[in-house]
Structure 1
Amino acid sequence: MSTGITRRHFAVLASGLAGALALGAGSARAQEKVVRIGYQKYGTLILLKNKGLLEPLLKPLGYSVKWAEFPAGPQLLEALNAGAVDFGNTGEAPPIFAQAAGAPLVYVGYEPAAPQGEAILVPKDSPLKTVADLKGKTVALNKGSNVHYLLVKALEKAGVPYSDIETAYLTPADARAAFERGSVDAWAIWDPFQAAAEKTIDARQLADGTGIVSNYQFYLSTRSFVDQAPQVVDVLLKGVAEVGAWVKANPKAAAAEFSPLIGIPAPILEVALARQQYDVKPITPEVATAQQQVADTFLALGLIPKPIRIADALRAPKS
């Protein structure tokens, strides 16, 4: 009899232990859910990271956050395409190149136009006076970045074929070095690197985006992540909106917080911040149409290998 009781007790204990292990495993899995966010050295996401606002917002959903820094949008979206990032933001051009390469990206939000936040710069003593003077010259830029589109459209407006210039594809740091060495004639760059070059080495603008391009900032995710975790995407955008509102209301404080994060003096960052529009919104038909024009322009120049439809990469409206 004692053996029977022991077996019964063992069965009960084993059953209970199995249930506890299963519950624990399920709980551990819930706790192990991670949203991986790609960010650049400038913009709302780096402030969101620094302030630590996102983690408590995501905790009730069982998510933690893993942050990864990238030098520019194209590199960030390469990581998104490889499945290493779930969410991030870039300018207009990187999503076009990424979608053309087959990345399963989804536009989930945008920041309004900031055409003064990017420019084509030349050294202060350069003989070049207008964009038309770039014919036959070499321009440094980060391939596939927002300024790629600025350069294309600025040349078009000036009547200079894109094929009549040389391009040196360099990251912002390498481009700055080449620019200062005189290895390139001009540099297409965005803030805050633009503001820093204008202030510290008296770089001069041939043109910014005013009257040429919109320079939207886009927030992007993957189709699978948007489908599997729509609430998480909404929380991410809520966090972005909160930080954006704070920046708009407190530009001096925002510049002071940015400064040690990116190694640029606060007064320079104040100039850059004044050129931006920190107000995340859902993608509108007008913005989608503008982005399709970017894609069609790059296709016509042979910069992307096939036509793409921006409509295929939009988040489905909430029911």
Structure 2
Amino acid sequence: MSRPSRRLLLAGALAAASAAVTGCSSGSEGSSSDGSRRLRIGYFAFPSGDLIVKHKRLLEKALPDHKISWIKFDSGAGVNQAFIGNSLDIAALGSSPFARGVSGSSPIPYKVAWILDVAGENEALVARKGTGITDVAGLKGKKIATPFASTSHYSLLAALEKAGLKPADVQLVDLQPQPILAAWQRGDIDAAYVWLPTLDELRKTGTQVTSSKEIGAAGKPTLDLAVVSDELISRDPQAIDAWRKAEAEALRLLKSDPDGSVKAVSSELNISEADAKAQLAQGVFLTPQQVASADWLGTGSDSDPGRLLTYVTDTARFLADQRQIDTAPSAAVVRKAFYLEGLSDVLK
């Protein structure tokens, strides 16, 4: 598989940015046309604390002097492109596309500042019934769709490797979630690795072969992270503090107010509350204390990153071995893409 150059990514970013951020001024020092400070937040239509923050307007309440724009993306590849085009300040991003973004001679100018969730049964590989596929080894020669440069793509490659298959042993197709569903319904593909809510649609007429929960337990976990631009860190670190506190509150609400959380996700995804409840149950959501611990993002000390550093470094190394990126960055390089300052404050 060929990989797009940084120049092509930038070209795509500029096109995506102009469409996604229509109406948002690119004024100096992060100001919008009416003089208020701006925050452009990228999110996925995926059950997580992000949707609770958005639905309950937690960030708008915390930062009334900011003009906040929520911009929906289909996958991490689009988020990376938008950051290259300077069209985002904060965004959800999978650990695999983040590992790609901090690799190479011109890493994307952003840093991981929060963990939204750990991939569980909410990302999985499903084969169409009638194909005879019952395990990963049975995918040899089959046509498999997944969004390239995503956590699902990474997990698919990991599953193939574990089964003794190379990417060349299958037919990989780069499709976003909605086109995956359309291709599935037409019978154009044999299997797909994707996330909710498209995943649940595929399960209705398919057989789950493996999941990101299983692949993570085997040593290759994936996570949904949240990153902030270097420019935002420089000009408005207080906004990052407020945003982290809003995300921490959402994680608390997922546990303390499950019914309210289900209603928020149901409304944001335009699905039934029963479906929202089922989808939330498939994710792994940390507590704020876990996020800000040595087991995950870190303790808030610049010299003490958590195990996420190892996860991202290992992911980049795997992608390099799979020839998805040219070279894997060192742990020291990845460490520079962590923003831990003020992290412990969300626990106060």
Interval of TM-score (by shorter of Structure 1 and Structure 2): 0.7 to 0.9
2:272 is aligned, of 265, 268, 281, to 265
> Equivalent residue of 2:320, what SS?
helix
Mapping for residues 33-72 of structure 1, pairs under 5 Å: 33-42=37-46, 43-59=48-64, 62-72=65-75
Which residue identity is paired with 1:124?
K
Summarize the Cα distance change of 1:223–1:250 in structure 2 as closer, same or farther, 3 Å threshold. Answer: same
Task: Quote the sequence identity (%).
Answer: 24
Question: How much has 1:266 moved relative to structure 2?
Answer: 2.6
Mapping for residues 69-88 of structure 1, pairs under 5 Å: 69-88=72-91
Greater percentage in helix: 1
Question: How much has 1:271 moved relative to structure 2?
Answer: 1.7
Radius of gyration: which is bigger? Answer: 1
1:188 corresponding residue in structure 2? 193
Q: Is the 8 A contact 1:119 1:207 kept in 2?
A: yes
CA distance in 2, matches of 1:118, 1:259: 19
| Worse-superposed segment, 189-198 or 113-122 | 189-198
Aligned residue pairs, count:
289
1:242 is aligned, of 249, 254, 268, to 249
Q: Which runs of 5+ in 2 are unaligned?
A: 1-30, 299-305, 344-348
For residues 229-266 of structure 1, give each alpha carbon's deviation from its aligned partner in whole angstroms, at most 9, with x where no partner exists: 22211110111111222123333433333234323333
For the aligned residue pairs, the C-alpha RMSD in angstroms reads: 2.3
Question: How much has 1:318 moved relative to structure 2?
Answer: 5.0
User: TM-score, normalised on structure 1?
Assistant: 0.83
Mapping for residues 143-292 of structure 1, pairs under 5 Å: 143-198=148-203, 201-213=204-216, 214-279=221-286, 280=288, 281-282=291-292, 283-284=297-298, 285-292=306-313
| Worse-superposed segment, 238-247 or 259-268 | 259-268
User: TM-score, normalised on structure 2?
Assistant: 0.77
1:296 corresponding residue in structure 2? 317
Q: Is the 8 A contact 2:49 2:116 kept in 1?
A: no
Question: How much has 1:83 moved relative to structure 2?
Answer: 0.8
Question: How much has 1:31 moved relative to structure 2?
Answer: 4.6
Question: How much has 1:222 moved relative to structure 2?
Answer: 1.1
1:92 is aligned, of 92, 95, 105, to 95
Q: Is the 8 A contact 1:195 1:268 kept in 2?
A: no
Summarize the Cα distance change of 1:242–1:316 in structure 2 as closer, same or farther, 3 Å threshold. Answer: closer
Summarize the Cα distance change of 1:266–1:316 in structure 2 as closer, same or farther, 3 Å threshold. Answer: closer
Summarize the Cα distance change of 1:215–1:252 in structure 2 as closer, same or farther, 3 Å threshold. Answer: farther
For residues 68-117 of structure 1, give each alpha carbon's deviation from its aligned partner in whole angstroms, at most 9, with x where no partner exists: 11122221221122111100112221212222363111010114533222
CA distance in 2, matches of 1:63, 1:83: 18
Question: How much has 1:316 moved relative to structure 2?
Answer: 4.8
Question: How much has 1:194 moved relative to structure 2?
Answer: 1.6
Q: Which runs of 5+ in 1 are unaligned?
A: 1-26
1:119 corresponding residue in structure 2? 124
